[in-house]
Structure 1
């Protein structure tokens, strides 16, 4: 059902149960959550020389922080993994990503959000380790420490992704195309001599053929053609305060029952205009604040 801009409806957030619902006893955990101080990637531009970076694949999984006792999402929600999954994890804090495989974001996201974990879902999940947040060493040494840690722990689902070094922009683009063909989202570039620093950093860069971000739904705009009587486009506002329309990426079901006004969505775009407006924006999914 289409709604006017005055009919604001906020979407639910946080853990879900096996039926996909959020149990009431998870609310105190949500209210008391504290976001982990993670290092966040900036967008790669051709200016930095690629030979100063260690490069890995960008995975479409769920960012997860191991604080030495439990897994936490980027937003600070506890991720209730089965006991066997984290039983032999080290006491050292870890920064990584829960991942199943290319194109499996929805599956791993659902598993990570459940109030009660499902065994068959977690048997598919691997915890890919990217960094050691509390280590004072430069990145290249932290990467070696991660490798030694996984070899010492001998846990099948605890892994360090493969890394590459390239010497030129052309070699970097060639590597990007190879990984995209294999199902990757893109590449991550870590400055070899950089220390771990919480917040947005130029020492951690992402290189993708497209980008994604979040926005709030302001209005449902009806379609006047093929989808007459259904959703034509969403009027949204992103975190930078820019308002724009998104008219592609929806299923027929989402056009019949669009994301609620006041809820947040994830969208994909190619680049930004000089005024900061996303080019070729398309709907990706309802935003899941893990």
Structure 2
């Protein structure tokens, strides 16, 4: 990291004080204060132009408390000292990310208790918020963008936000992003202050829905899957029981998620009985995983 000039250091100090005097990093509790996303619905009464839109990174949620890098459950992430050294004494929210369609490899890097420098060199901290309970997101976006520009560290990046004026524009952008390997989009209400929990201030938009379910049984395979997993019998958070028989690799069929584990699955709407339609296995839910 290059040395900062005295002018830049003064600038940073002023930025910290003005932006965070009412919401210091030390006072925040990451597991209870983080903002979670609802699913975007096109028939919402709030116009899409009221939101700032960014890529939804398929990485690992990471909250910088000003001192430590934590998961959204509040557990310590064992990052190398050089990785966190440039980060300021303010609360940041972001995603640990390497590249698109690379979650499993990234998870392996981040889960390692003794971090390996050569592997962490692949990881970037994509910052998408600089939380403040009074300040609207549009101002927070300007703040975190300016701050990260001043930090000037190659592995710390500000997440770009942009506006769209119609659902048609938004859909075209989503399609283009997904075709290039992106997971989806995030929508931040520009006028909303930071608030914990789920609200319409933060929305996610994907080409499919996803959710979690508990594995309650293994159903045996037939034909080429004889002696292997045929399908998982699961119960979702709404108490609906159903089977998931697609999305597995042969290795996952030979060693399926254990009964009692939590999995993430994707689906495309619901049947009339409330069962997820075309449910397909994505992965076992990991503690480090983002939602």
SS at match of 1:108: helix
Cα separation, 1, equivalents of 2:273 and 2:136: 37
Q: 1:46 aligns with which of 42, 46, 51?
A: 42
* Structure 1 gap segments, 5+ residues each: 1-32
1:232 counterpart = 2:230: yes
Map Cα deviations across residues 38-93 of structure 1 (whole Å, 9 max, x no partner): 11111111123111110101111001000111110112211010000000200100
Partner of 2:254: 256
Q: Deviations over 1:148-177 (max 9, x none)?
A: 111111111111122221111111111111
For 2:219 and 2:50, locate their aligned partners in 1 and report how far apart those are by CA, in whole Å: 47
Equivalences for residues 10-29 of structure 1 within 5 A: none
Alignment-derived partner of residue 77 in structure 1: 75
Q: CA deviation at 1:212?
A: 2.0
RMSD over aligned CA atoms reads 1.5
1:106 alignment partner in structure 2 = 104
* Structure 1 equivalent of residue 169 of structure 2: 171
Q: How does 1:1-290 map to 2 (within 5 A)?
A: 35-48=31-44, 49-290=47-288
TM-score, length basis structure 1: 0.85
After the TM superposition, which of the residue ranges 186-195 and 156-165 deviates more from structure 2?
A: 156-165
Counterparts in 2 of 1:135 and 1:184: CA distance versus 1, 3 Å: same
Q: Which runs of 5+ in 2 are unaligned?
A: 1-28
Determine the C-alpha separation between the residues in 2 that align with 1:249 and 1:108. 20
Matched residues, number: 258
SS of the residue 1:85 aligns to: helix
Contact map agreement 2:59 2:97 (CA 8 A) in 1: yes
Larger mean CA deviation between 201-210 and 250-259 belongs to: 250-259
The answer as to whether partners of 1:266 and 1:283 remain within 8 angstroms in 2 is yes
| Kept in 1: contact 2:145–2:158 (CA 8 A) | yes
Answer yes or no: is the 8 Å Cα contact 2:53–2:186 preserved in 1: yes
Contact 1:36 1:72 in 2 (8 A): no
Runs of 4+ in 1 over 3 A off after TM superposition: 273-276
Contact kept, 8 Å, 1:60 with 1:99, in 2: the verdict is: yes
Write the deviation string for residues 161-196 of structure 1: whole angstroms up to 9, x where unpaired.
222211111111111111112211111111110111
Q: 1:274 to 1:35 in 2, by over 3 A?
A: farther
Instruction: Say whether the 8 Å CA contact 2:30–2:72 is kept in structure 1.
Output: no
Look up the SS of the partner of 1:79 in the other structure.
coil
| Structure 1 residues 190 and 274, CA gap change in structure 2 (3 angstroms) | farther
Indicate conservation of the 8 Å contact 1:223/1:231, yes or no: yes
CA distance in 1 between partners of 2:106 and 2:246 (Å): 25
The structure, 1 or 2, with the larger RCO (C-alpha pairs under 8 Å, 6+ apart) is: 1
TM-score normalised by length of structure 2? 0.85
| In structure 2, C-alpha distance between the alignment counterparts of 1:34 and 1:289, rounded to whole Å | 15
